[in-house]
Amino acid sequence: MRRARAAALAGLLAGIAPTPAPAAENPVAFEAAAYTLKGRTAAGTWTRRGVVAADPRVLAIGTHIRIEGAGHLSGVYRVEDTGSAVRGREIDIYVPTAREARSFGRRTVRVHVLSRGDGDLD
């Protein structure tokens, strides 16, 4: 804590204000699964690591989230897809292989919203 304050003070003294980490909303429990369907997302981008599908009524397209409790798939993602079977507090995490999807299975994770998307599909 002291080091952080000292670094912040040094930055201010040098005329450079430290950049605060983005504030995250309180975590919410979601059911997560993994999917491997390759192609275009609802946002018009190609599926790739770092993409999740969510119910747009819960997490709008463009929303940045941090997932915890997903093992090696924990991390920061962007909602770029929707899914006909993704309803309510459910997310699908894109992975490139069926083996990885089967290994992940279905589990409860914690989702922190880092920034809300506008739902724009462009």
What does the pLDDT look like over 12-40, one tens digit per residue? 444 444 444 456 668 999 999 999 999 99
Question: Nearest CA to 33 among 109, 84, 88?
Answer: 109
DSSP 106: E
Question: Given this model, what pLDDT does residue 22 score?
Answer: 54
Tens-place pLDDT, residues 77-110? 999 999 888 999 999 999 999 999 999 999 999 9
Question: Given this model, what pLDDT does residue 16 score?
Answer: 44
Q: Give the end-to-end CA distance of the chain in Å, rounded to a whole number.
A: 42
Question: Given this model, what pLDDT does residue 17 score?
Answer: 42
Q: Which two tokens stand for residue 79?
A: 């909602």
Q: Where are the alpha helices (DSSP H) in the chain?
A: 2-13, 98-104
Question: Given this model, what pLDDT does residue 1 score?
Answer: 45
Q: Which residues contact 33 (CB under 8 A, 6 or more apart)?
A: 90, 91, 92, 93, 101, 104, 105, 106
Beta bridge partners of 35: 94
Question: Do 78 and 52 contact (CB within 8 A), yes or no?
Answer: yes
Confidence of residue 9 (pLDDT cuts 50, 70, 90): very low
Query: pTM of the prediction?
Result: 0.77
At residue 115, what are phi and psi to the nearest 5 degrees? -155, 140
Question: Given this model, what pLDDT does residue 32 score?
Answer: 97
